[in-house]
């Protein structure tokens, strides 16, 4: 018994060594084959040894079985030998299946499981035409989008962050340093993972080898993007100043721009897209698109699967939302009701359009939902409480089991996450890449009434949804293996 701790410690070190061997293989699959490896939806690319081990540990909560890097390493090795074509491959799901069958020949197993992409790598074909991306505005969402775009640069992503557009006058060198510093350090999301340098002469930031032009302009009409070698670009408007077709249409009048994407709810006839739900509505002719709001993105996937399984007669959405830059630090004038009161000192009852906006992505729920919001003194991560009347009965255990399955093995795996812990709090979800996370311990269900609590990182999770729309626009469409049920 006295040697048991030593054995456990040695096993940990052995697993670390295996994870270290996996990292270059995962990187090679991404860079050479455009294969993104995941562990039950969590990307393994560009992750640390500890993160890889934690993601393997996470499988126990989902499948009720241990999965070790010792189980998955042979599968990753096999993948490097199969000349694979572009795809997202869930090594976790394949690892569980391989373990359940008792192991065996890893190469033969992976050849069978990944048959549709085996020997599909063509090094001379290229990855397609890269899509230039411009961030118009460089606030909270703009900087997170920049981080994610830089992280995903390379491989088959095809998105290239070419420029940011900001207002600025006076000392350009000082302004650039401040912009770089805000990208480099973040009080909520931590330090930038990489290096950033500034060149005042060319007015550029270089982040992990990505040269980003900083363009100073007071309005879209001031910019000719072709002057900077930018063509056929998607302009992502993070300012929220314009939300209708007329206002956002100013971007399309600029040389070098083909489309505009709004990171806020669109008004009028603009398509409000929640990726995973209605992204199929995007056509080649759509030149202006809205990514809806962070709250709409968080609740629509959960509402979709709830309505599919149980039917929703009507409901109320209460949003407990972290304060935003729109509010005041201390009491001062604000055009909005109550928002003039100090954000760090008050809970502020305010309106939300998220409930009404649901119908733009899910027309079948039109007129069935009401909504309100409470801004609270936290800087990030919010919660939506879905109080629903259903068409058929359920209970908390059955409902949670269904939502858990939807988060693991459905078309909504990237949108719906699931947690079943009595100890989680809001900061535990900072950096979560899902649109929303179901808190199973808080679920209430009796008869035809259910209350579902959905956490969401209103900055990072939402930004990941925006990136998914950008990938759709750039015609990046990887198959996902193994196929979900």
- Catalytically active residues, by annotation: 294
Cβ contacts of 11 within 8 Å, gap of 6 or more = none
- Supply 146's token pair: 């920049």
Cβ contacts of 434 within 8 Å, gap of 6 or more = 414, 415, 416, 417, 456, 461, 464
Cβ-based burial of 315 (10 A; exposed 0-12, middle 13-18, buried ≥19): buried
Neighbours of 296 (CB within 10 A): 31
Cα 271 to Cα 283: distance, rounded to the nearest angstrom: 11
Across the strands, what pairs with 394? 447
Report CA torsion sign: 286, 292, 296, 302.
positive
The strand ranges marked E within 92-181 are: 131-136, 159-166
- Supply 194's token pair: 């990489």
- Shortest CA distance to 93 belongs to which of 342, 396, 405, 364? 405
Determine phi and psi for 454, rounding to 5 degrees.
Answer: -125, 110
CB 85 within 8 A of CB 120: yes
Cα 77 to Cα 388: distance, rounded to the nearest angstrom: 47
Cα 410 to Cα 415: distance, rounded to the nearest angstrom: 10
């Amino acid at each position: 018994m006295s040697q048991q701790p030593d054995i456990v410690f040695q096993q940990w070190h052995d697993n670390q060594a295996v994870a270290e061997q996996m990292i270059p293989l995962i990187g090679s699959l991404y860079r050479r084959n455009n294969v993104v490896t995941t562990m039950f939806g969590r990307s393994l690319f560009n992750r640390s040894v500890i993160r890889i081990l934690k993601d393997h540990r996470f499988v126990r909560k989902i499948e009720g079985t241990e999965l070790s890097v010792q189980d998955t390493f042979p599968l990753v090795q096999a993948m490097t030998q199969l000349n694979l074509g572009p795809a997202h491959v869930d090594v976790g799901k394949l690892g569980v299946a391989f373990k359940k069958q008792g192991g065996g020949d890893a190469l033969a197993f992976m050849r069978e499981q990944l048959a549709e992409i085996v020997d599909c790598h063509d090094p001379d074909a290229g990855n397609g035409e890269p899509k230039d991306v411009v961030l118009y505005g460089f606030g909270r969402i703009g900087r997170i989008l920049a981080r994610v775009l830089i992280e995903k640069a390379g491989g088959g992503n095809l998105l290239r962050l070419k420029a940011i557009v900001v207002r600025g006058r006076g000392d350009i060198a000082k302004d650039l340093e401040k912009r770089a510093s805000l990208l480099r350090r973040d009080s909520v999301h931590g330090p930038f993972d990489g290096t950033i340098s500034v060149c005042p002469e060319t007015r550029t930031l270089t982040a992990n080898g990505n040269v980003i032009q900083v363009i100073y302009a007071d309005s879209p009409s001031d910019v000719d993007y072709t002057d900077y070698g930018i063509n056929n670009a998607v302009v992502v408007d993070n300012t929220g100043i314009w939300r209708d077709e007329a206002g956002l249409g100013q971007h399309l009048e600029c040389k070098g721009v083909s489309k505009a994407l709004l990171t806020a709810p669109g008004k009028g006839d603009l398509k409000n897209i929640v990726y995973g739900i209605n992204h199929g509505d995007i056509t080649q002719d759509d030149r202006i698109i809205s990514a809806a709001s962070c709250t709409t993105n968080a609740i629509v996937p959960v509402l979709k699967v709830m309505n599919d399984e149980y039917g929703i007669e009507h409901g109320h959405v209460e949003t407990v939302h972290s304060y935003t830059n729109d509010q005041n630090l201390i009491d001062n004038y604000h055009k909005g009701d109550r928002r003039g009161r100090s954000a760090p000192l008050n809970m502020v009852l305010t309106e939300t359009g998220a409930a009404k906006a649901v119908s733009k992505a899910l027309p079948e729920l039109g007129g069935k939902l009401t909504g309100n919001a409470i801004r609270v003194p936290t800087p990030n991560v919010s919660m939506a409480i879905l109080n629903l009347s259903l068409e058929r009965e359920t209970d908390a255990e059955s409902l949670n089991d269904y939502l858990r399955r939807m988060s693991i093995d459905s078309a909504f795996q990237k949108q719906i996450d699931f947690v079943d812990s009595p100890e989680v709090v809001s900061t535990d979800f900072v950096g979560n890449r899902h649109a929303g996370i179901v808190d199973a311990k808080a679920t209430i269900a009796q008869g035809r009434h259910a209350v579902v609590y959905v956490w969401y990182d209103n900055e990072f999770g939402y930004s990941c949804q925006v990136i998914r729309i950008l990938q759709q626009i750039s015609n990046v469409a990887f198959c996902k293996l193994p196929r979900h049920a």
